[in-house]
Chains A and B, each alone.
Chain A
Amino acid sequence: MRIPILKLHKYLLISVQVELDDQTALQFQEDLLNKIHQEGSIGVVIDLTSVEMIDSYIAKVLGDVVEMSNLMGAKVVLTGIQPAVAITLIDMGIMLNEVPTALDLEQGLEKLQQELEG
């Protein structure tokens, strides 16, 4: 199962529509980094609106993806984390401290723009 990565000008958009398992997450990590390399993108928005569950491993992978993308010069914003997901993450002690977040795709893009300009 591969998660589609869409290109929009200098940004990449990913809307995760499936429940993430370990394999899919790792595949996604690889795909995204390749895509950033290929397209020279400067910003990435990962939308998690339809994700209902994130376990500690997936959370770690997401954190890693953000860090790796930053290393490659692309800012990442996570958007649309559901309340239930947020509560589970906090309960597990996963704060995703270094990761910028936004309410939805629209605000995520705005945030990216701000961060890239500022």
Chain B
Amino acid sequence: MQPSIVEMIYTQKQDIISDWLSEINNVMPSGLAKKIPNEASDETNKKFVELIIESLELTEEAATEKLNEFAQHLIYLGWPLSYFTQGMQAFRRVLLETMSSMESISSKKVFETFYEIETWVDSIINQIADEYSGSWESTIHLQRMALKELSAPLIPVFEKVSVMPLVGTIDTERAKLIMENVLDGIIEHRSQVVLIDITGVPVVDTMVAHHLIQTAEAIRLVGAECILVGIRPEIAQTIVNLGIDLSKFRTKSSLRRGVETGLELTQRKIIKIENDDERIDSR
């Protein structure tokens, strides 16, 4: 940045700031203006404009750091990105107005200066936008991780029998995760029978069925058996109407009947405990 411009900004500092403050109040997103009390927004505005001007004399790194800090603070408070972009645009407008009102500068000079200011303002906008998108990405990442953890648990209910309840739509990525979880879980719990419960899966189309078939095949390869349970009437109808062949797999309507079959496959069954007196009687 040319020293002459910096100097000009400094001499006109008070005017620029007051002009900008009135400008920013005009362009402030209307939703935000309602949410935040005037004093707070005034203070933030002041801080922001001082930071912008201050960044002129700091080294690039120091300026970047200060800006990031400020942006992070506002992200934390929930200020929208448009506040920054509109604020910077307003700042540029104010600066150019101030400059064009000064007679000492020739139009050619104004043009040159305009270019410099443009670059400067744009770089600040970019930096702040980066900061914002970074924070969004990390939020999305955290949510995705949380979703992943909830997505496909394998629960060992009996020795050698495990259940994987599936809730929600299954897409390719999730199907992959399901397969990995189920196979690792089989090895870990030494399961012989895995019940996949699709009661909570709203739609079973050809793709979902394909993924389920693949999972069942993989389960067979590692040496366990898969039973598909929780097939609701409408799911049974779609499966048949779509012409999906599930005849190779064991399927059961409910988890309860699946558990019974699973125990049968491992040579066990659930029995009712007889009363002691009854047993004595029967002898």
| A binding-site residues for B, Cβ under 8 Å | 78-83, 85-87, 89-90, 95-96, 101-104, 107-108
Q: Does B171 contact A (CB under 8 A)?
A: no
Q: A82 with B222: in contact, given A103-B187, A103-B190 (CB under 8 Å)?
A: yes
> Could you tell me the distance in whole angstroms from the C-beta of A63 to the nearest C-beta in chain B?
12
Q: Are B184 and A101 in contact (CB under 8 A)?
A: no
* 28 CB-based A-B contacts, threshold 8 Å: A79-B223, A81-B221, A81-B222, A81-B223, A82-B187, A82-B222, A83-B180, A83-B187, A83-B218, A83-B222, A86-B183, A86-B218, A87-B179, A89-B221, A90-B214, A96-B221, A101-B220, A102-B223, A103-B187, A103-B190, A103-B192, A103-B222, A103-B223, A103-B224, A104-B190, A104-B223, A107-B192, A108-B223
Q: Report the separation of the CA atoms of residues A87 and B186 in the bound assembly, to the nearest whole angstrom.
A: 14
In the assembled complex, the CB of B271 is this many whole angstroms from the nearest CB of chain A, namely 23
Q: Are A87 and B190 in contact (CB under 8 A)?
A: no
Q: Which residues of chain B from 209 to 263 have a CB within 8 Å of any chain A CB?
A: 214, 217-224
Across-interface contacts of A78 in B (CB, < 8 A): 223
Tell me the smallest distance from the CB of A82 to a CB of chain B, in Å: 7
Give chain B interface residues in 170-193, CB to chain A under 8 Å.
179-180, 183-184, 186-187, 190-192
Known A103-B186, A103-B187: A86·B222 in contact at CB below 8 Å:
yes
Cross-chain contact of B223 among A87, A90, A107 (Cβ < 8 A): A107
Closest Cβ neighbor of B185 among chain A residues: A83
- The secondary-structure label for the interface of chain B is helix
| Given A87-B179, A90-B217, A96-B221, 9 extra CB contacts under 8 A | A83-B183, A83-B218, A86-B218, A86-B219, A90-B179, A90-B218, A101-B220, A103-B222, A107-B192
Q: Which residues of B contact A101 (CB under 8 A)?
A: 220-223
Interchain CA distance A80-B222 in the complex, whole Å: 6
- A86–B215 alpha-carbon span in the complex (Å): 9
CA distance A87 to B224 in the complex (A): 14
How close is B247's CB to chain A, nearest CB, in angstroms? 13
